[in-house]
Amino acid sequence: MKSYLAAAIQMTSLPDLEKNLVEAEELIELAVRQGAELVGLPENFSFLGTEEDKLAQAEAIAHKSEKFLKTMAQRFQVTILGGGFPVPVSSDKVFNTALLIGPSGNELARYEKVHLFDVNLPDGITYRESSTVKPGIQLPPVYSSEQLGTLGLSVCYDIRFPELYRHLAYKGADILFVPAAFTAYTGKDHWQVLLQARAIENTCYVIAPAQTGIHYAMRQTHGHAMIIDPWGVILADAGETPGVAIAEINPVRLQQVRRQMPCLQHRVFV
């Protein structure tokens, strides 16, 4: 593993597949121009609309999203995470799928989100992700790269389930991806502290691409795409507008923190 720059992209995706892909391409290019070799796109990067509209367009979204990720990775010669897009599994269900693509356009890892966001928030908005999404049944994968380190995948609501990240750490993860479309209501209190907790307790870097702003009707997301180091220090924060958070992933820093705080070696219950 070498030192390199990683980017967490922040978008305001809409119920418009083509427009979203144009915005994503512009932000990927921006990140690459700044030197990023590992780029993460947020959950719902290619489409963020109602559950009904997502289901109706799922086949097209899935096909074009995967093709887009492979094209971008090859064009810019970088590794890209597509943080979540629908892949049909039946006439009324999709998997919320995160896809990691290498510089040659090859698929490196795939994760189907296991924790679905079915919540009645105090602000009066109800979310029922399970109405159209089938939960994955496999623990998230890690992908080991000699150049980039070992990358662990997750998606959004997973951040509230620390056992998932301990699994990734047990599998050797150095970097934890948390692409998200975190609600504005919960994000203001929980987003940053949860990301920092996952970084600290697993002594890993966290790369958290995010959605921001108003997407349709009442759907509003928190923003603040971040990159956090293994000590919990926020290295980059994209704020509340579309853009890119870029920071260095440094193996020397990673090992320094793990020597100072060797908690992964002190686990009693595995």
pLDDT, residue 79, reads 98
The 8 Å CB, 24+ separation contacts for 116-124 are 116/157, 117/156, 117/157, 121/183, 121/185, 121/186, 122/185, 123/185
Q: What is the pLDDT of residue 123?
A: 74
Selected catalytic residue, list 112, 113, 134, 204: 113
What is the model's pLDDT at position 44? 97
Quote the pLDDT of residue 217.
82
Q: Chunked in runs of 10, what are the mean pLDDT values of the chain (270 residues)?
A: 97 97 98 98 96 94 98 98 96 96 98 95 84 96 97 98 97 98 95 98 98 91 98 98 98 97 89
Please give the pLDDT value at position 270.
74
Walk me through the domains of the chain, giving residue ranges and CATH numbers: 4-266 (3.60.110.10)
Phi, psi dihedral angles at 187 (to 5 degrees): -60, -35
113 is catalytic: yes
Rounded CA-CA distance 158/141 in Å is: 13
- The catalytically annotated residue of 37, 64, 156, 204 is 156
156 counts as catalytic: yes
Angstrom distance (rounded) from CA 180 to CA 84: 8
Give pLDDT, residue 125: 79
Structure tokens at 239: 């704020």
- Please pick, among 37, 43, 66, 112, the residue that the annotation labels catalytic: 43
Half-sphere exposure of 260 (CA within 13 A, CB side): 11
Tell me 183's DSSP state.
B
Residue-level pLDDT at 121:
83
Helical ranges in the chain per DSSP H: 17-33, 51-56, 58-76, 162-170, 184-202, 251-260
pTM of the model as a whole: 0.97
The count of C-alpha atoms lying within 13 angstroms of the C-alpha of 202, restricted to the half-sphere facing its C-beta, is: 29
- pLDDT value at position 234? 98
Our answer to whether residue 43 is catalytic in this structure is yes
**How high is the pLDDT of residue 218?**
80
In contact, 168 and 140? CB cutoff 8 Å:
yes
pLDDT computed for residue 260 by the predictor: 96
